[in-house]
Chains A and B, each alone.
Chain A
Amino acid sequence: MSRSILRTIAIPLAAVVFGLLIGVVLILSQNASPATAYTALVVGGLGDADALLRTLQKATPLIFGGLAVAVAFKAGMFNIGGQGQLLVGAVFAAAVGFGIDGLPMVIHLPAALVAGAIAGAIWGGIAGALKATTGAHEVIVTIMLNFVAGNLTDWLSANPWKDNSGNNIVARTPLVEDSATIPTLGAVPVGFLLAVVVAVACWLVLERTTYGFEVRSVGHNRNAAQYSGIKVGWIMASTMAVAGMLAGLGGAVESLGVDGRFEAGVNVGLGFEGITIALLARANPLGVIPAALLVGLMEAGASRMQFKAGVAPELIDVIQALILFFVAAPIIIRWVLRMREDNSEQLRLGAGWGQS
């Protein structure tokens, strides 16, 4: 047991070390001190209660975004639409959050979260339903829906749901009511706890239920699944709706727990980071949690690193790319560490692209 766990985490762990080592070269190229930079990065993400809170807050939407991609992968589909699903989730959660007044928190907060989840589910479900009924490629449809969501949420936050207080000219909604704001327990935002619970639930559903088995069957071989009587179209449509729901929840948690409102342009790019997280986690819902924590930590500490060591915060993007590269190409790590070959290590997703 412990041996197999060790084998599972050896490659990702080595990938992180390799990524950081190459990062040293980049830091040196900027005439900065790698020791100072990395110390500041860690202190900025873990140093005190505030830093920890930042890390957990950064990690929360990454967990949801990572799950949105990972769950779709399980059914053999590539969800590039996390960004759009996150945006509609964020704006609808904010709308319920500021639009309704006088509800107790036990009703208002769940209602706002559910609004975000439903909006995301519809957004993801469109792509899944089109794939199931017409064969429209989910990669194209989700990319297109990202652009549509960007425009739609821009318009919503600039027109009907605009914050008209003071001299505001920015496209943003008013602040959400206190009764719809996600609280924090000490240094732990409740949204993070929700994300962890949801990740575990995803794992349980995928690995321990009939539905999960059907999803994985469709992912492994669509034709064989069809032949054995699984309703492939329904599985694809529903899985994409669930994936969209997860990303929508991520957006809702951002609006209700971090930003306190929806503002156009603030969440841009967050949905795409889910792809990195899911790939780092090898599409395993439980693996998404540590992957998101790692990236969240780096993002939380990046500004301190810039302040203390004068290193541009974008360094962490490069390090992320390197880690992803080493995880995806374990052959390099095995060669350096003289590890034995293990076929289960290679991650395969692209094969799903060719099926239609």
Chain B
Amino acid sequence: MKPRQKQLLYAGAALLIFVAWMFYTADGPQTTAVLAGTVRAATLLALGAMCGMIGERSGVVNIGIEGQFLMSAFVAFTIASMTGSLFLGTIAGVGMGLVMGWLLAAMAVGLKVDQIIAGTVLNISALGLTSFFYDRSAVGIGKYTNIDLGPLADLPLLGTVFFSRPPLTYLTMALLVLVHVALFRSVWGMRTRAIGEHPGAADTVGIDVLRLRYFNVTIAGGLAGLGGSYLALEAVGTFSRAMSGGRGFLALAVMIFGRRTPFGAYAAALFFGFTTALQNQFQLNNTFDIPPQFVGMLPFVVTIIVVAISGLMGSMRDPAALGQTYEKG
């Protein structure tokens, strides 16, 4: 990142904190509710974006995140209600995510199926299978509750927003740091970025391109699987048909928006989460005379504008080998 961009970023962050503080002193409970809602909505998007990011950094497009969310949410919910344990449900959801990731890898990397089609196959089959096997009589066992992080949770505003959250939200924040370090500070990350940019060159220096892509896409599926578990066992507490509701696709936008970096994606996810939370709050209060549908449009319209502007500035660039299957020469 250029120094000038960094300055802008810090200035923007400072401005945001200042504005949040102003609102907080004006109306505490309201501001807290909106910001807590922001973090809640951002977690799923961040997990989906990290899943997409690891795939795309290695050169594999994943438009099947939606299906990975849905399938994992279904399995997480089913196992949790069978065993009575949220933890086992979560593990099962992550396991299902790994299986879905492996399926994508098997199609896109192994069988060299077109990557867009492979993702579409995941999406349709997840929708079909979860509806086909959905047991209407299954009862949920509730959801994860908030854990206070000691004295931090007593901080005004920040305490409720960041330090009194359910466990999977903390785990996601930790994973953001982990994925950042892994992608940009580790040998694995360097190799991953290499096979996404120039698989031929990576091959020449002895990296097994296909094997690493297989591995990465599978592992990334586990992140989406955690997203599915989060959806069913932490955010909602039950499973319903097509409950992912397009958020797998939204995660894709968040990923590109955040320039395929974990922190960038989290910032984008927070932005989407903020508008979602704002919309809910507007509907709850009925304070403004704006139809909820127009508030609902806001994040999407803003994304289009931002994507167009950053397109003009030329700051978006896909990994060079994205979407192409690799044939060993």
Contact = CB atoms under 8 A, between A and B. Distances in A.
Given A130-B304, A155-B293, A354-B320, A324 B120 contact: yes
A159 B116 CA distance: 38
B148 interface: no
B303 A140 contact: yes
Contacts of A352: 323
Contacts of B253: 140, 143-144
Nearest to B296: A151
A354 B121 contact: no
A322 B107 CA distance: 12
B203 interface: no
Contact of A321 (B124, B303, B309, B320): B124
What is the interface of chain A mostly: helix, strand, loop, or mixed? helix
Given A140-B253, A317-B128, A147 B246 contact: yes
Interface in B186-215: none
Contacts of A196: none
A276 B67 CA distance: 14
Contacts of A154: 293
A17 interface: no
B28 interface: no
Interface in B239-255: 246, 249-250, 252-253
Contacts of A319: 128
Interface in A45-81: 78, 80
A353 B291 CA distance: 36
Contacts of B120: 275-276, 279, 324
A147 B297 contact: yes
Interface in B155-204: none
A84 to B, nearest CB: 10
Contacts of B297: 147-148, 151-152
A25 to B, nearest CB: 12
B316 A353 contact: no
A353 B116 CA distance: 9
A348 B114 contact: yes
A329 to B, nearest CB: 5
A143 B249 contact: yes
A354 B303 contact: no
Contact of A130 (B118, B308, B318): B308
12 contacts: A78-B116, A126-B304, A143-B246, A147-B246, A147-B300, A151-B297, A155-B294, A279-B117, A318-B125, A324-B124, A353-B318, A354-B324
Interface of B: 61, 63, 107, 111-118, 120-121, 124-125, 127-129, 131-132, 246, 249-250, 252-253, 256-257, 291, 293-294, 296-297, 300-301, 303-304, 307-309, 311-312, 314, 316-324
